[in-house]
Amino acid sequence: MPAQTQLVHLRDYSLEELETFFIELGEKPFRARQVFQWMWDKKATEFSQMTNISKTLSARLEEIATLNRTRIVYTSRSSATETRKLLVQMMDGKTVETVLIPEESRVTVCLSSQVGCALDCDFCATGKMGLLRNLTAGEIADQLRHAMAISPRPITNIVFMGMGEPFHNYREVLKAAHIINGELGFGIGARKITISTSGLVPQIKRFADENQRFKLAVSLNATLDQQRDMLMPINRKWNIRELVDACRYYVEKTTNMMTFEYVLLNGINDTPADARRLLRIAQQVLCKVNVIPYNDIKGRYQRPPDQTIEAFLKELSTGKFPVTVRWSRGDDIDAACGQLATTTDELDLTLYTPNLTKHE
């Protein structure tokens, strides 16, 4: 018997790639805009739902392509904050976690970009998994489609801060961001989409050179190379000076403000002297600083006492840049910053049914 032709995953295509696909089928390029809008803006799951394409084309697409990319196999909801964590399964059985975070003035979705992560940051649960594979653009954007389906309010903000290092999967992450931003996609403004990196210097400069309008956040987490070498092995490749130089290049090239993220770890990087060094670093760049009191992953680190956090923030308050504090939301369901991880190989996913909700 002849080998079965592998179906084309249309959700992985940018609008331009979809136009090429339809031209090669002998169709007019405008078909790409129709199908793209149905996939994302109208959230179609079957070609038969696309009422402005012919039945003949719909049948042909059924034979050669698919809209199936991911499914929700489990959701958890925080009783304290209404944060929800989605376990999203790919077609190959791999899973990632996506977090829906309702707040008073906004609703944020935290997207994953890889199954696991190669960077092995010492305080992050995802890094303990290692890197299993990159996600495709469709697998990334599909997480938002699922989050929209269960969100009680419209989504306002997107952060690429879930599982994985987004700039290790640069092409697919940027393609997904443009799907999310596009008028035929989800139509979320570029300045409401933030891409975070642990400090991949060449990609930061590429992001600047391409004049990407999405916001940039950089996980700094230390003010001395000795500290950062221990916490974030990527620092041994590009140290703090090189990272800050790249950030300065970014803001000068784009005129955009960036964000430094700083996870506070008890007895590691939380002293007034650390705060003063962070202040000096931040004053070199057009930025704001987002301080994140550590969220426990049952490792060797702890969150600093409240008085230590307050003293750290007091030192930072003398700077001429905005300072925010990201208090944990969803840590009771391991959905807070640094806590995302999956153990697909240990899960019997037949025990779960789509959209089953576990209330913790």
Active-site amino acid positions: 97, 337
Contact in structure between 85 and 99 (CB atoms under 8 Å): yes
CA distance 243 to 234: 10
3-state secondary structure of 221: coil
CA distance 203 to 160: 15
Tokens of 252: 């000068």
Q: What number of CA atoms fall less than 13 Å from residue 22's CA on the CB side?
A: 20
The alpha carbon of residue 242 and the mean position of all alpha carbons in its chain are separated, in whole angstroms, by 24
Q: List strands edge to edge, sheet with 70-77.
A: 323-325, 287-293, 258-264, 215-219, 193-197, 157-160, 107-110, 95-102, 84-90, 70-77, 357-359
Tokens of 36: 């793209």
Question: Residues 6 or more apart from 3 whose CB is under 8 A from it?
Answer: none
Question: Residues 6 or more apart from 134 whose CB is under 8 A from it?
Answer: 113, 114, 115, 164, 168, 169, 172
CA distance 293 to 278: 15
CA distance 69 to 146: 11
Pairing relationship of beta strands 70-77 and 357-359 according to DSSP bridges: parallel
Contact in structure between 164 and 172 (CB atoms under 8 Å): no
Residue linked to tokens 């409401």: 192
